[in-house]
């Protein structure tokens, strides 16, 4: 399972940790991805969806 949203394709981003002495080391940020049951074309599927897509109503969760 990749750490990306199957709705908006949001994935990991990379950047630098910057210390107080201004040294830089690589780091990454991962999106908040939840494994949820979703209704797609009248059928229930399990998808990896970021919380931004869940909150904005881009998908319909099944109960």
* Tens of each residue's pLDDT in the chain, 63 residues: 578 999 999 999 999 999 999 999 999 999 999 999 999 999 999 999 999 999 999 999 998
**Longest CA span, the chain:** 56
Q: Classify domain 1-63 by CATH number.
A: 2.30.170.40
CA angle 33, 38, 42 (to 5 degrees): 160
Residue 1 has a pLDDT of 54
Q: What pTM value is reported for the model? A: 0.77
Which three-class secondary structure state does DSSP give residue 21? coil
Domain boundaries, the chain: 1-63
CB of 8 closer than 8 Å to CB of 60: no
Residue 48 bridge partners (DSSP) = 35
Residue 2 has a pLDDT of 72
Residue 45 CB neighbour total at 10 angstroms: 13
Residue 39 has a pLDDT of 95
């Amino acid at each position: 399972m990749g750490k990306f949203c199957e709705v908006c394709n949001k994935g990991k981003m990379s950047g630098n940790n910057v210390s107080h002495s201004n040294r830089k080391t690589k780091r990454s940020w991962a999106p908040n991805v939840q494994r949820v049951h979703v209704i797609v074309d009248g059928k229930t599927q399990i998808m990896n969806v970021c919380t931004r897509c869940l909150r904005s109503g881009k998908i319909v969760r099944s109960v």
